[in-house]
Structure 1
Amino acid sequence: MSTRRWAAAATLCLLACSGCAPALAPWSQTIPPDPVPFAYEAGHVVLPVRVNGSAPLRFILDTGFPVSAVDLRAARAAGLQTASGPQLSGVGPAFRQGRRARSVRLDMPGAPPLRVDLAAFPLDGLATQSGGRIDGILGMDVIERWAVEIDYATRTLRLHAPGSYRCANGCTEIPWVRKGGEWFVTARVMAATRPPVAGRFRLDTGSGGALALTRPFVDAHDLLAATPGTVEGTAVGIGGMSRRRVGRLAALSIGPFVVERPVTAFAQDSVGEMARADFGGVIGADILRRFRLVLDAHSQRILVLEYRPDPPLARS
């Protein structure tokens, strides 16, 4: 089995971030009714976004990032003024000092114009496996303004007024809980020789991988020993290099949905994002692409509209 490089956006976290996200836009703003096509690259939902009237820039939709951000080089090219901002941590042991651009206008397809504060730091490490650049991140401060419908099969996105989506026949509601600026679902992992283990997992559209487990969660439940045939792997994030073993668990269940034999990264870090003990891990796009879902932060729920257990690989 070959190892995979997990997208750095899967495990980014902003620290000391109080006050960096503005108040939400009025929910009464008119939302264009048409679905918006997106590019699907290495598990990333990529959308064209204009920053203060710039040419379209490539932003990824990232439920694992608490605030929206822009690449520092793209910010300078767009003429944004930046000041000292929040400290950043993520995969790897290091911390980086970010910057901040205040009251930036974002124009994105399918949405009314927004004014937000953006974190600003180099995003070179988020280049997709296909070689495409990433200019910015649409984080939860933007996503939680609407109920966001994502259909990976058709590569389309649609916005709904928050709290307005009603489950019809066949729709399944899954609780989505906010803790400390991050959003989590409860899921269970199953190893071949262990009973199912429940944990709190970040559902992360910014991760191109399937499932990544934190080291404390792995160690507490002896999951690595219960998963033979793993191989060494690494990931690169804003904090540097992260070590992990990569293999396949028996299954992952989210509500009534069971994903068989997901590719799983078992973190081996002693510091950094994947050494945290307050959550079990990250559920990424290689699992999410099996679903058509609505992310409704206002109602603290995820609505699963359709589930495809074994979809073809999505490509742009």
Structure 2
Amino acid sequence: MFLALLLAAATAAAPLPPISPAAQPRGSSALAPDAESRWVPFDLTPGNQLRFSVEIDGRAATAILDTGVSYSVLSRRFAERAALKVTSGGSATAIGGIVSIGWTATRKVSFGSLTRQGGGLAVATLPALATGSAEPVDLLVGRDLIEKFALDLDYAGRRFRLLPSGRMPFRGFTAPLTISRDRLVYVSALSLGAAHLQPMIVDTGDGSSVTVTDAGWTAAKIAGVRTTTTISFGLGGTVTSTIGIVPTLRLGELTARNVEVRVEPAGGFSETIQSAGRIGSGFLQNYRVLLDPAARRMILAPGATADRPPLRSTSGLLVGIDRDRLRVLHVMRGGPAERDGWSAGETICAIDGQPIPRDYATNPLATWSAGTPGRMVRLRLCDGPERQLTLQHFY
């Protein structure tokens, strides 16, 4: 299951409220002289986001690297624990709806080679469900902290670093990259079928691959793609989308093959913020990526997984971890689970006789839902009965 998380700048339909982070002190950011050697290790959350460690006013914190966030967001939980003074009263557009935000001043934020003195952070509730983890993170590191620098993402090595803009640490395919004037997030453009789609938000905080609007999908006119449904989780709630795998798409000089594409319903988040969609971590992780908006370019060097058909569900069940059990979050259209009458909200306590382990997210047992077609899986519900589910390809 991939989860999407994205926070845009405050509402576009009205003037920025007094609490808007744009109206607050920005602070001063700088890189250490040895920036090239200052790699930041990260792990991928179950929601497919880059999670790493930062320091906020001398306190250790966990963060997600999120180029789809206009202003970095601190969790209310962390702010309360650190006894930070939070000014409230604003709101922001997020996947799933509108969320309340506040603002707090900070003395210093640092990670890797980056140190920002002064300034502050937006403050919002950051739910654990948005990353698929048992514990929520403390901070979304957004555009405001990193836009002046080149961001070198080594997904294969599970590490990233910030470099002075203009550096070219590796060679690859070039695509355009800028900061949008209205939403203040990283944006590019891509070609899908007959459609040229822009602006596409380049969003490391979105765990899915590529997401487009309903209008963009219609304009692409791609025939023969089997689709189903899936869900995404944002700060504002849950969104149901259509999903399919397209044979090719173009991103600048790059032609990518076998790409998973989500299609938002009409009037969805991307339309609301007047974008054509998002390019997420599910796509970017197949490459080594350099994001350098100050130099107006993105570099993508294909990795070992580029162009491979993506992992797809053969069960039709999207589940979330709930301590010692799995909770069914969505039943995918046309899949074996829908055919067998499964419903969202049901809970699973054992798979082929094995209880759900604490490390389920990284345990080999978790591969059952995308297993070999024809395999029969025994799933014991937490209220007693056991069901059998035969896996199959359905999109």
What's the TM-score once normalised by structure 2's chain length? Answer: 0.68
User: Is 1:13 aligned to 2:8, yes or no?
Assistant: yes
Equivalent pair of 2:43/2:52 in contact (CA under 8 Å): yes
- Between the aligned partners of 1:31 and 1:145, the Cα distance in structure 2 is 17
Question: 2:240 aligns to what?
Answer: 243
Matching of residue 148 in structure 1 with residue 151 in structure 2: yes
Q: In the alignment, does 2:94 pair up with 1:95?
A: no
> Matches of residues 23-62 of structure 1 in structure 2 within 5 Å?
23=26, 25=28, 27=30, 30-32=33-35, 33-41=37-45, 42-54=47-59, 56-62=60-66
Q: Deviations over 1:91-126 (max 9, x none)?
A: 22x322211112342122332354332111110155
Quick one: structure 1 residues 91 and 22, their matched pair in 2 at CA, closer, same or farther if it must change by over 3 Å? same
Letter in 2 for 1:52: D
Evaluate the alpha carbon distance shift between residue 276 and residue 220 of structure 1 in structure 2; reply closer, same or farther with a 3 A threshold: farther
Structure 2 counterpart SS, 1:147 = strand
Aligned to 2:291: 295
Q: What's the % identity of the aligned pairs?
A: 22
- Asked if structure 2 preserves the Cα contact closer than 8 Å seen for 1:125 and 1:237, the reply is no
1:138-187 alpha-carbon deviations (Å, 9 max, x no partner): 00001113211110000111221223x0476x444322122211221121
Report the counterpart of residue 176 of structure 1 in structure 2. Answer: 177
Root-mean-square deviation (CA), in Å?
Answer: 2.7
1:163-213 deviations in Å (ceiling 9; x for gaps)? 3x0476x444322122211221121113xxxx3544331111101111111
- The secondary structure found in structure 2 opposite 1:252 is strand
Offset at 1:274?
Answer: 2.9
Q: Residue in 1 aligned with 2:114?
A: 111
- Report how far residue 218 of structure 1 moved: 2.7
**Partner Cα separation in structure 2 for residue 269 and residue 302 of structure 1:** 29
Q: Which residue identity lines up with residue 108 of structure 2 in the other structure?
A: R
Q: Secondary structure at the match of 2:91?
A: strand
Output one character per residue of 1:241-272: Cα deviation in whole Å (capped at 9) or x when no partner. Answer: 322111112222212222212121111142x5
Q: Map 1:1-316 onto structure 2 (within 5 A).
A: 4-7=1-4, 9=5, 11-15=6-10, 16=16, 17=20, 19-20=22-23, 22-23=25-26, 25=28, 27=30, 30-32=33-35, 33-41=37-45, 42-54=47-59, 56-92=60-96, 94-163=97-166, 165-166=167-168, 170-179=171-180, 180=182, 181-190=184-193, 195=194, 197-221=196-220, 226=223, 228-270=225-267, 272-276=268-272, 278-304=274-300, 306-308=301-303, 310=305
Query: Partners of 2:195 and 2:209 in 1: how far apart?
Result: 18
Unaligned runs of 5+ in 1: none
**Offset of residue 26 of structure 1:** 5.2
Higher relative contact order (CA 8 A, sep 6+): 1
Displacement of 1:282 in angstroms is 0.6
* CA distance in 1 between partners of 2:129 and 2:34 (Å): 30
Task: Indicate how the Cα distance of structure 1 residues 171 and 246 shifts in structure 2: closer, same or farther if over 3 A, else same.
Answer: closer
Contact 2:52 2:63 survives alignment (8 Å): yes
**CA pair 68-20 structure 1, distance change in 2 beyond 3 A:** farther
Structure 2 unpaired stretches of 5+: 11-15, 311-360, 363-395
How many residue pairs end up in the alignment?
Answer: 298
Q: Which amino acid aligns with 2:241?
A: R
SS in 1 for 2:115: coil
Residue pair 2:156, 2:303 contacting (<8 A) in 1 also? no
Aligned residue for 2:118, secondary structure, equals strand
Contact 1:85/1:100, CA 8 A, preserved across alignment: no
C-alpha distance in structure 2 between counterparts of 1:244 and 1:132, whole Å: 26
Task: Give me the TM-score of the superposition, normalised by structure 1.
Answer: 0.83
Q: 1:221 to 1:174 in 2, by over 3 A?
A: closer
User: How many angstroms apart in 2 are the aligned matches of 1:78 and 1:31?
Assistant: 31
